[in-house]
Structure 1
């Protein structure tokens, strides 16, 4: 390893520690989820056991949990796949059990053949999983004497549990604007930190700091994935839950910015990488480029503080245009492959953030002259 890489091996940007108090606060903030789980599972079990007389109604509460936790933004499809998979699995497994009975090798055969038949019928995802699970449970659980047909009861329990979980999502929905705003702020704060450390690396000619900023940008991938999941989840809730219909316009605008913010973080990764390359080659960094990145930090911080405020967005957009102009003007001082790449990334990042703030792609041609 070359000597100029040694500082980076020791450099790590600080990671915040999560305290027990913060974890407890996280539990308190999820009180709606806890209440939904309690009511949905209890209701599903009660309906299946006491109203329908199912002696082994364990799958009704399980189905309720699967529906609520099974996929952000796709619970309607989850219910369909859940019921379809259960129906298919109990059909295949019941036929096999009638022919070969129950036992160890029968379990293996039921699981394998159920999976094979389900795949041949083009079942995927949740439907395939539930088909296999249904086959396994039917082969493993011996019905009590005098109980109803296990295939019929399992199918009914799946439907009951799925509907209980879905109804609880509609009756006690999440606060869509709060959830999305928290996720957006987390990503924007991370983006501001990446740009801040990149600008610091440019000011101090520290290639290791730029490499660390690149690692920090890569570490935000889980945050981006969580933001996409949250956007899909709250969009579904705002569309279906009557208590959240008044938030649909805000949620649509917030959710529409997610892809642009994702692109902005990708731009930040490339920016940090090009800055690190520039500093490793001991190139002189034009002061205008550093000013441009620091101006981006100011704009992103405004976004993170109050993304929903049109006044603040206007102020942030002014800083983004300023950052782009500074980057372009800096090229007249010293033009190299790396400086041109850094300037281009500043411009791209500004464009993506402008679109996240509501500027149309067509309007960018006039604002930044971006194709």
Structure 2
């Protein structure tokens, strides 16, 4: 029996993680370890030696919270996280000084901390950390003669948060590399979907088109991640002096996010239309599968050359050729599905060209077919 065409397109299952894989992950985390080490040490030293605080454990804890929980949530979210910890400390200590420590006191402290944090606009992870800070305070006894614990630990949390934020800005991840990796994965997923759609047209297999549609839908989570990363790296480039020189390149990446989102939507519609055509027994226009295969090749060129853009001209030529084939092969009698597929291929070409830096005026010239 002839194997299903999908078998030749499936990815090889990822092998179980080995010690070598974990070692490679550890090597990639050198920046994170350096941030944590320096920020916690600096926060503890400042709180202990400069401010004269005893039991200054909240300063390094706040630094860890900002660096770990704030990863990928820069700017406003990181600042809210610091403020959330500080509010939890402040409200918790003020209440504990009055009502003491115990089970019912913890319940009251957490409830009031969440209420205060909500009223000042703290939410999400920052709200969680405010509640956690209050719980920790209610369960840990302060040292004798340590001064006002509410003020002390409030300052400690601010010192630690500031140290953590400073390390995030001074030792940021490489935003260009992060965007490159995620966009590359997205483009590879789009190329795989296009391969399956073309194969379904070539073999008349509607089930394969449905599988392609499912994969295109699943890729939306990655697209959302790309969008989130785009916002975050733009903030890093704006806030961190270390990455200022990358702002222009990042602007191109971030500017392409909307076009990539549109391209993914185009691919979903394309797969759905092809599935509908095949399920209704309609004959695909001749050469349409060739047009879609060329689009897949163009997308892979983009994915391979994101860093250098050396072959972008070749990819653009492939997209224009694919759109031309898809439109010109719609001759004679055609169904609504066939017309929609041709239009969708052209729309996908336009969005991918826009993502690669082609202007709207240039698009009109490139995709104007007689």
Per the shorter chain, which TM-score range?
Answer: 0.7 to 0.9
Instruction: Kindly state the Cα deviation for residue 306 of structure 1 after the two structures are TM-superposed.
Output: 0.5
Whether the aligned pair in 2 keeps the contact of 1:197 and 1:209 (CA below 8 Å) is yes
Q: Cα–Cα, structure 1 residues 77 and 197, in superposed 2: closer, same or farther, change >3 Å?
A: same
What's the counterpart of residue 3 of structure 1? none
Whether the aligned pair in 1 keeps the contact of 2:54 and 2:146 (CA below 8 Å) is yes
Q: Matched residue pairs, number?
A: 364
Q: Cα–Cα, structure 1 residues 62 and 276, in superposed 2: closer, same or farther, change >3 Å?
A: farther
Distance in 1 (alpha carbons) for counterparts of 2:153 and 2:79:
15
What's the counterpart of residue 225 of structure 2? 226
What's the counterpart of residue 76 of structure 2? 77
Whether the aligned pair in 2 keeps the contact of 1:286 and 1:334 (CA below 8 Å) is no
What secondary structure is seen at the aligned counterpart in 2 of 1:173?
coil
Provide Cα deviations, 1:110-163, integer angstroms capped at 9, x if missing partner: 211222233344433354334323332222222122223222222222222222
Structure 1 residue corresponding to 2:13, chosen from 13, 16, 23:
16
Instruction: Kindly state the Cα deviation for residue 164 of structure 1 after the two structures are TM-superposed.
Output: 1.7
Q: Cα–Cα, structure 1 residues 72 and 33, in superposed 2: closer, same or farther, change >3 Å?
A: closer
What's the counterpart of residue 207 of structure 2? 208
More divergent stretch after superposition (53-62 vs 277-286) = 53-62
Instruction: Kindly state the Cα deviation for residue 244 of structure 1 after the two structures are TM-superposed.
Output: 2.4
Q: Cα–Cα, structure 1 residues 71 and 214, in superposed 2: closer, same or farther, change >3 Å?
A: farther
Distance in 2 (alpha carbons) for counterparts of 1:66 and 1:22:
26
Distance in 1 (alpha carbons) for counterparts of 2:69 and 2:135:
20
Return structure 1 stretches of 4+ with deviation > 6 angstroms: none
Distance in 2 (alpha carbons) for counterparts of 1:27 and 1:338:
51
Distance in 2 (alpha carbons) for counterparts of 1:23 and 1:338:
49
Whether the aligned pair in 2 keeps the contact of 1:73 and 1:235 (CA below 8 Å) is no
Distance in 2 (alpha carbons) for counterparts of 1:221 and 1:16:
21
Point out where structure 2 has 5 or more consecutive residues left out of the alignment: none
Point out where structure 1 has 5 or more consecutive residues left out of the alignment: 1-6
Distance in 2 (alpha carbons) for counterparts of 1:226 and 1:24:
26
What's the counterpart of residue 359 of structure 2? 360
What secondary structure is seen at the aligned counterpart in 2 of 1:276?
helix
Whether the aligned pair in 2 keeps the contact of 1:11 and 1:209 (CA below 8 Å) is no
Whether the aligned pair in 2 keeps the contact of 1:110 and 1:136 (CA below 8 Å) is yes
Distance in 2 (alpha carbons) for counterparts of 1:169 and 1:95:
31
What's the counterpart of residue 304 of structure 1? 303
Distance in 1 (alpha carbons) for counterparts of 2:121 and 2:78:
18
Q: Cα–Cα, structure 1 residues 362 and 209, in superposed 2: closer, same or farther, change >3 Å?
A: same
What secondary structure is seen at the aligned counterpart in 2 of 1:287?
coil
Distance in 2 (alpha carbons) for counterparts of 1:85 and 1:328:
57
Q: Cα–Cα, structure 1 residues 34 and 134, in superposed 2: closer, same or farther, change >3 Å?
A: closer
Q: Cα–Cα, structure 1 residues 232 and 139, in superposed 2: closer, same or farther, change >3 Å?
A: same
Instruction: Kindly state the Cα deviation for residue 321 of structure 1 after the two structures are TM-superposed.
Output: 1.4
Whether the aligned pair in 1 keeps the contact of 2:184 and 2:304 (CA below 8 Å) is yes
TM-score (norm 1): 0.87
Whether the aligned pair in 2 keeps the contact of 1:288 and 1:329 (CA below 8 Å) is no
What's the counterpart of residue 130 of structure 2? 131
What's the counterpart of residue 106 of structure 2? 107
Instruction: Kindly state the Cα deviation for residue 310 of structure 1 after the two structures are TM-superposed.
Output: 4.5
Instruction: Kindly state the Cα deviation for residue 36 of structure 1 after the two structures are TM-superposed.
Output: 1.8
What secondary structure is seen at the aligned counterpart in 1 of 2:113?
helix
What's the counterpart of residue 4 of structure 1? none
Instruction: Kindly state the Cα deviation for residue 340 of structure 1 after the two structures are TM-superposed.
Output: 2.1
Instruction: Kindly state the Cα deviation for residue 338 of structure 1 after the two structures are TM-superposed.
Output: 1.7
